[in-house]
Amino acid sequence: MPLIQLQNAHLAFGHVPLLEEVNLIIEARERVCLIGRNGTGKSTLLNVLNGQQSLDSGTLRIDDGVKVAKLAQEVPAAATATLYDTVAMGLGDLSGLLSRYHSLSHEVATGDAQTLEALSKVQAEIDRIGAWDASQRVDATLSRLNLAADSLMSECSGGIRRRAMLGQALVGEPDLLLLDEPTNHLDIDSITALEAALLSYSGAVLFITHDRTFIDDLATRIIELDRGSLKSYPGTHAEYLKQKNAELAAEEQGNRKFDQQLAEEEVWIRTGIKARRTRNEGRVRRLEAMRLERQARLERQGMVRLGLDSSTDSGKIVIEADKVSFSYDDQPILRAFSTTILRGDRVGVIGPNGSGKSTLLKLLLGEIEPSSGSVRQGTKLQIAYFDQERIQLQPERSVRDNVADGTDQIEIGGKSRHVIGYLRDFLFSPERVNSPVKTLSGGERNRLLLAKLFAKPANLLVLDEPTNDLDVETLELLEELLSGFDGTLLLVSHDRAFLDQTVTSTLVLEGDGRIGEYVGGYSDWKRQADAVRTKEAEAKPRKSADSRKPEKAAGVSGRQGGLSGKEMRELEALPARIEGLEDKQAALTEETAKADFYQQDQARVKAALQLLADVTDELEQAYHRWSELEEAQSS
């Protein structure tokens, strides 16, 4: 039974149609990815489904009792709200009461009589309205998303703030969760944590993203908004692309035939007087209809045409770092790091937000000096640097002046081009090129910075988070451009598919100043890192290597060490109990990881997830008890 249904929806801003006779049905437990070019109206469609935007015409039907929650694209950083407060806000009127209870629960440790009295009153009010279940949901949500309840939003990273806002959306247990670019500005660890949370969520999800790995890991189907129309595609992103390309080819062929027929009719209508005297009035009316049809045809939004201005080769050695160390406020970013980057190398940089990826780039480029060690740059370097803060763009100046600095012509590849024609390649219309940069969207600013960089010759391309706010088609074109670039590439990105397609080696900031070097892209690093962890685990003693599983105690009776006879029997029984719990946990984990698990009845899904949580808790308690008994035995 559909949770939500959109029928014959029409919405236009001015003369631009965003939705034209759009129909959409979302069923329970679906995970639907909404894709489309920047500016097509994806966020507007989410606002329609959330009731924040009215339709010009059409119908939005939501079943009685269906709850819809939305995670916005922008994440606030409230100065005084804790993560607990932020998550609790998802419960509406209950949030103030629950936040008060949480705060007083901490303060009561001081033994102050007034605090105790206030806590007692709050507890009585929670009892009266039956809100203890809501309080437990807040605690469970914080635990599930690995959030520290008492941390201030203003002091947390963007990734943690976004997880807190996700918790706010989830705590009310909505039937449909709407997510607008949830992976933007998140590091890889935060993205994978978000994926895990959404995979275990039993409601339906409709999300907008440009992260292709995120799409393939989560989506049960893809819907595309293109020129006001909405179409559904089952399967992976690669399967969507295959079907979409076939549709576009058929559309282009049909348009060519139509345009040829229209041209023939236009020739006929312009023939001489004799022909006009004998012309068929039905044919005239058909021509008029064809003209209207051609005028009404919405051309597909232009494709970005990217191209790098080639440069002379650099020297063989591009950058050489020798035992480089650097710290911020006694926090080590690099410890004795050495590497050699050669001409033609394509190096990815991976690490959590705040770990120092941008700092590493600046050290390698000589923009900041290391605390110790040395960095040497090679000869004949021509550097194009894309910084994630876009500080190279001047907000008050126009689009054209940022690229051409007040002139009409720029030189690309030794040839002169008009700046308007060049900017059209990056999807800036002649009207848009005179707009100040401060009026541009995030995606437009990224395209402009790429246009600015690619207008100059370069043999070392340094890209710091270039993929944020770019739509999938532009990302793939950028991938294609970089794959054909014959210079050297340094790339910081959290886009796993983009890294896999563009780099041949990876530097990973692993914490405490350590940087690991790996062959290949993200998937290659992940595979190598997992293999190293497995090897290290196998090298440990049996007790640690076997998931903390205790050796079976044999031939023990009576009292040994500090244990009673009853405790010894408990210790003897623990290995078999732990083995059974581990087997049960493994079976449940395998069941919940199946692709069709969340397509079952919702009650069964919740029951299985609860059982897995209970078994995991019981297993942890068994581990803890075994550790206690062994310690007592050896004392």
Model pLDDT for residues 150-168, shown as the tens digit of each residue: 999 888 877 788 888 888 9
Task: Retrieve residue 252's tokens.
Answer: 């282009």
- In this prediction, residue 453 carries a pLDDT of 84
C-alpha distances out from residue 381 to 348, 361, 387, 423, 464, Å: 19, 15, 18, 26, 18
3-state secondary structure of 521: coil
* Interior/surface letters 560-596, b for 16+ CB within 10 angstroms, e for the rest: beebeeebbeebbebbebbeebbebbeebeeebeeee
**Are 26 and 32 in contact, with CB atoms under 8 Å apart?**
yes
Please indicate whether residue 354 or residue 268 has the higher confidence score (pLDDT): 354
Q: Give the pLDDT band of residue 552 (cuts 50, 70, 90).
A: very low
Model pLDDT for residues 43-71, shown as the tens digit of each residue: 899 999 999 999 999 999 998 889 999 98
**Residue matched to tokens 């876009």:** 390
Phi, psi angles (nearest 5°) of residue 583:
-65, -40
Q: Beta partners for 34?
A: 208, 223
Would strands 383-386 and 460-464 be described as parallel, antiparallel, or unpaired? Answer: parallel
Q: What is the CB neighbour count within 10 angstroms for residue 185?
A: 18
Residue 253 reports pLDDT greater than 80: no
Q: Give the pLDDT band of residue 304 (cuts 50, 70, 90).
A: low
Nearest CA to 332 among 324, 340, 321, 344? 324
Would strands 460-464 and 488-492 be described as parallel, antiparallel, or unpaired? Answer: parallel
Q: Which of 295-304, 404-413, 446-455 has the lowest mean pLDDT?
A: 295-304
3-state secondary structure of 76: coil
Return the DSSP state at 43. Answer: H
Task: Give the C-alpha separation, 387 to 396, whole Å.
Answer: 19
Task: Give the C-alpha separation, 504 to 495, whole Å.
Answer: 15
Q: What angle do CA 161, 162, 164 make, to 5 degrees?
A: 65
- In this prediction, residue 367 carries a pLDDT of 92
Model pLDDT for residues 317-365, shown as the tens digit of each residue: 999 999 999 998 888 999 999 999 999 999 999 998 888 999 999 999 9
Q: Give the pLDDT band of residue 529 (cuts 50, 70, 90).
A: confident
- In this prediction, residue 325 carries a pLDDT of 96
Q: Give the pLDDT band of residue 300 (cuts 50, 70, 90).
A: low
Helix runs in 433-471, H state only: 442-454
Q: Give the pLDDT band of residue 493 (cuts 50, 70, 90).
A: very high
Residue type, 466: P
Strand extents, DSSP E, 512-571: 514-519
Q: Beta partners for 606?
A: none
Domains of the chain: 2-239 (3.40.50.300), 240-296 (no CATH), 317-529 (3.40.50.300), 546-634 (1.10.287.380)
Please indicate whether residue 554 or residue 615 has the higher confidence score (pLDDT): 615
Residue 249 reports pLDDT greater than 70: yes
